[in-house]
A and B are shown apart, each in its own frame.
Chain A
């Protein structure tokens, strides 16, 4: 192999552009998935069948189909019916929507993991419904959901290069374009290493959190 540092030097400015786009997609995608996931989870607990059933069907469908095809769907099909979005916006919405179905499961498991005795105790103390959620259920559920939610953020980071396929210039998009222009491999290698460099400390952090929160 011949590794050319000059090529690396040429790629660096575009690499940082890509990092910025990746982090932006990750940050907003995370916010969407965390918020929307909570909506799904609460809707799945709804006593109304016509709320619960469609939500379960939609989330199951999204969870069991590939993110890549969903991105194509959002990018090429949705404009036929409604708004057309930029590649990056489409990518962010796609990531957020896809992972919201995973975070919904996390919230659901977290809420159901609170022992039934806690609900009964809240009833015995005749706490109001909102007080029960606020003071009894949520504080206990949050400890359970933080580590798996963190794992999905790392998973989303690793799926984020898919937005390059619809033309968003994230880390992979930049590396791909650069490699095609210069017929070099350094850019792709750097991006591969960059993912490890970001993902590994992140998963260590989550494991540390897990040890602290779940005892």
Chain B
């Protein structure tokens, strides 16, 4: 049976490692998702092409194989990563690729008239993106990001294979030491399920907030519109002072 000593030395730290890997990989994944997603919506074909290559390559490979490659093969090219970071990089780069599709798709779903309005107001590309396109695309992104985050959280179990002491690793240790596999793996499954449940709950709050930001509160809309017109004014002033169109 699971001794209390084992629980405190391996299982609890393992749960914490799983949380850490999930958070770091999600942060890396989000950065990659927005970076590659925006690059795939770029106006320059070469940027679009390179981002497309990234997407296809990382969507095409298996996260586990990538993790193995980063842990075992990369050192022989002269670059040694700690197991945890090999795992985080493999997960972040893979799920970032999936996320870039979400970012690209939801940006593409913003009505063209909105983008044209930004052009008519003489906004720069960056202003259109930040003030018009991203705020409208954001509510569309939250539900698929929730699914990806749960897939990512489940994917963190893979890091146990490259010797990161997460909760799955702790479970495997106990299996090697005793024959009490039933309580261990049952507990593991329940823990992962609880994590997934908590993530879904957290994302639901985010979803409500994202939806509330658009369309539902007229006074807030007024705020955004006021900000937009202020920006438009300064943008025009900027171009006039520089003398160009």
Contacts and interface: CB of A to CB of B under 8 A. Distances in A.
A72 B72 contact: no
B175 A76 contact: yes
B61 A69 contact: no
Nearest to A183: B76
A97 to B, nearest CB: 13
Contacts of A16: none
Interface in B178-212: 181-182, 185-186, 188-189, 192-193, 196-197
A192 B69 contact: yes
A64 interface: yes
Nearest to B75: A185
Interface string B98-118: 000000000000000000000
Contact of A161 (B64, B156, B157): B64
A76 B189 CA distance: 14
Contacts of A192: 61, 65-66, 69
A162 B57 CA distance: 19
Interface in A192-210: 192, 195-196, 199-200, 203
A69 B150 contact: no
Interface residues of B, number: 38
B63 interface: yes
B65 A72 contact: no
B11 interface: no
B68 A176 contact: yes
A188 B68 CA distance: 8
Contacts of B73: 185, 188-189
A196 B181 contact: no
Contacts of B51: none
B155 interface: yes
Contact of B154 (A65, A175, A203): A65
B238 to A, nearest CB: 43
B185 A69 contact: yes
A77 B66 CA distance: 29
Interface in B47-78: 56-57, 59-66, 68-69, 72-73, 76-77
A182 B76 CA distance: 13
Nearest to B153: A66
A199 B60 contact: yes
B154 A66 contact: yes
Contact of B160 (A68, A76, A185): A68
A73 B57 CA distance: 31
A66 B192 CA distance: 7
A64 B57 contact: no
Contact of A1 (B61, B66, B76): B76
Interface of B: 56-57, 59-66, 68-69, 72-73, 76-77, 150, 154-158, 160-161, 168, 171-172, 175, 181-182, 185-186, 188-189, 192-193, 196-197
15 contacts: A64-B193, A66-B155, A68-B158, A69-B185, A70-B189, A73-B186, A176-B68, A179-B72, A185-B72, A185-B76, A188-B65, A188-B68, A188-B73, A189-B73, A196-B56
Q: Across chains A and B, which 3 residue pairs bring their CB atoms closest together, nearest first?
A: A64-B196, A185-B73, A66-B157
Given A158-B62, A184-B76, 6 more contacts: A1-B77, A61-B189, A64-B154, A65-B192, A157-B62, A195-B65
